[in-house]
């Protein structure tokens, strides 16, 4: 089984927060910067404001799937961090996907 391309180190999160530009919608905030690898990596941040651990984990699973499905249409070699806003835990998969694609387009890394 192939390892999922994620950002896990706190130092990586801090560096991206400090150096990368951010764009936001009502549900998500996205930070994007050039990564060191050939493929994209994603980091997901969901605080306690969006819900309990079940809600946060469901949000993270949805975002990983959205990332996986949209990765072929995304410019490669980027580090992407997604931060959940308060309402992100209570919306549908389709709405999260729509906001994610909108943010990719705002960052000009969506090819489709």
Residue 11 has pLDDT above 70, yes or no: yes
Start-to-end CA distance of the chain, whole Å, equals 28
**71 domain residue, yes or no:** yes
**58 domain residue, yes or no:** yes
pLDDT digits (tens, 9 = 90+) for 69-105: 999 999 999 999 999 999 999 999 999 999 999 999 9
pTM of the predicted model as reported, rounded to 2 decimal places: 0.92
Please state, in angstroms and as integers, the Cα–Cα distance from residue 60 to each residue in 18, 70, 108, 111, following that order. 22, 15, 23, 24
The residues that bridge with 96 in the sheet, in sequence order, are none
Residue 77: which CATH number?
A: 3.30.230.10
Residues of the domain holding 39: 10-106
- CB-based contacts of 43: which residues, under 8 Å, 6+ apart? 6, 7, 8, 12, 13, 16, 79, 80, 81, 82
Residue 54 CA neighbour count, 13 Å, CB half: 1
**37 domain residue, yes or no:** yes
**3 domain residue, yes or no:** no
**38 domain residue, yes or no:** yes
Looking at residue 48, its pLDDT comes to 94
């Amino acid at each position: 089984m192939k390892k999922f391309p994620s950002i896990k180190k706190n130092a990586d999160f801090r560096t991206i927060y400090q150096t990368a530009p951010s764009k936001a919608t009502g549900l998500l905030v996205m930070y994007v910067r050039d990564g060191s690898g050939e493929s994209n990596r994603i980091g997901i941040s969901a605080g306690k404001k969006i819900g309990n651990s079940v809600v946060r984990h469901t949000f993270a699973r949805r975002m990983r799937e959205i990332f996986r499905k949209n990765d072929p249409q995304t410019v490669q070699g980027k580090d992407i961090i997604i931060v959940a806003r308060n309402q992100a835990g209570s919306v549908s998969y389709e709405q999260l996907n729509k906001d994610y694609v909108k943010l990719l387009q705002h960052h000009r890394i969506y090819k489709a």
